[in-house]
Amino acid sequence: MGKFRESMDAKALRFAVGFPVLLAAAFTVCALLLRADLPEPLAVQWSEAGASGFAPFGAVVGFGAGLIVAVGWLLLVQAVPLSRPALMRRILMGVGLFGVLFVTTVLAAVLVGQAGIGDPHEARVDMSVLALGSGAALALGVIMGFVFKADERWSVDDDRAVQETLERELDPEIAADSVRLWVHARSSVFIMLGIATLFPAALIALAVPWLAALLTVVALLAATFLFARIRVDRSGLRVFAAGFVPVMDVPASAIASASPALVRASDYGGWGYRHHGGITAMLVSSGPAVVVDRADGKKVAVSGGTADSAERVAAALSRVAARARGQRRPPQA
């Protein structure tokens, strides 16, 4: 029983059980208030000719209240288990609230549409109540999805965070061996790129719209790949073009040396990702860079941003390479 309670959100469960019951009770009370204006029996089914199915008032109200409770429990309880992701639980809670309110709206539209008529065959569904109630139900469902606080469970991310914290405590030098860096081309390059593509695209947009759109897409892609994300840790060097496309992965054990340098992009084939012969480069501009000599004789060059950041990346790569070769080991726990 204890494990079952730990797997459920108690607050959400109380809401999922209690709210449909209260809503069904409110529907019953409102139906009783309308009882004097309603015909007997009530229309519950319609065809092209009009009302074709009828039921007593008590049966309609009783069935409607039971339907509200059943639909509410069925939908809202889906957001109770803690084993489901928080985002999914938010969506399910919003959908559940919308569902139970929509059912109540339909039942209310059926009753209000028959108020004040003497002949049940003239009964109809009040479309104003149905439209306004459906809109309100949808809005409240969306709001519930945003405001519902889904209790988070201990996850793999939490385990990873604890492991990283323990590693930092046991090995204070690990922070110095980890570098995260974004590099990008100079602002003048982006201005030149915009003049060469976006300006002509604007001029020809009225005459050849598809060509203008194509030039805009080319400009955006070119600008995106003039960004790079560099990640250095004890596993080695990883470089991602545009921040998410992996283009380099150099293990720490494969690094012979790393040093900062001032390079010209033209010496490595130009801007962007280049691979020719035994040289691989990811340069977003000429200037400070990190040149890595691999143990297999190949060479890697990546932009380093500023001279200080390039020196920091090179120093971190030298340390992790030395550690991978066994020249320097982290302290034992």
Q: Distance (Å, rounded) from C-alpha 137 to C-alpha 204?
A: 48
Find the angle CA(246)-CA(247)-CA(253) to the nearest 5 degrees. 95
Task: Name every residue whose Cβ is closer than 8 Å to that of residue 173 and which is 6 or more positions away in sequence.
Answer: 330
Torsion of CA 92, 96, 102, 103, to 10 degrees: 140
Q: Three-state secondary structure along 46-109?
A: EECCEEEEEECHHHHHHHHHHHHHHHHHHHHHHHCECCCCHHHHHHHHHHHHHHHHHHHHHHHH
**pLDDT score at 151:** 62
**pLDDT score at 331:** 39
**pLDDT score at 333:** 34
What pTM value is reported for the model?
Answer: 0.50
Spell out the per-residue pLDDT of the chain, length 333, in tens: 456 566 777 788 888 899 999 999 998 888 888 888 778 787 777 777 666 777 888 888 888 899 999 999 999 888 888 878 888 888 899 999 999 999 999 888 888 888 777 776 777 778 888 888 888 889 988 998 888 877 655 556 677 778 877 877 776 677 677 889 999 888 878 888 888 887 777 778 777 888 888 888 888 888 888 899 999 988 899 999 988 889 999 998 899 999 999 999 888 888 888 888 888 999 998 899 999 999 888 999 999 989 999 999 999 999 888 888 875 544 333
Q: Are strands 287-294 and 279-283 parallel, antiparallel or unpaired?
A: unpaired
SS3 139: helix
Write the DSSP assignment of 12-32 as a string of letters.
HHHHHHHHHHHHHHHHHHHHH
Q: Distance (Å, rounded) from C-alpha 227 to C-alpha 183?
A: 6
Type of residue numbered 306:
T
Task: Name every residue whose Cβ is closer than 8 Å to that of residue 109 and which is 6 or more positions away in sequence.
Answer: 125, 126, 127, 129, 130, 133
Please classify residue 162 by burial: count the beta carbons closer than 10 Å to its beta carbon, then call 0-12 exposed, 13-18 middle and 19+ buried. exposed
For the record, the structure tokens of 149 come out as: 């606080």
SS3 259: strand
183 sits in which H/E element:
strand 179-184
For the record, the structure tokens of 183 come out as: 């590099």
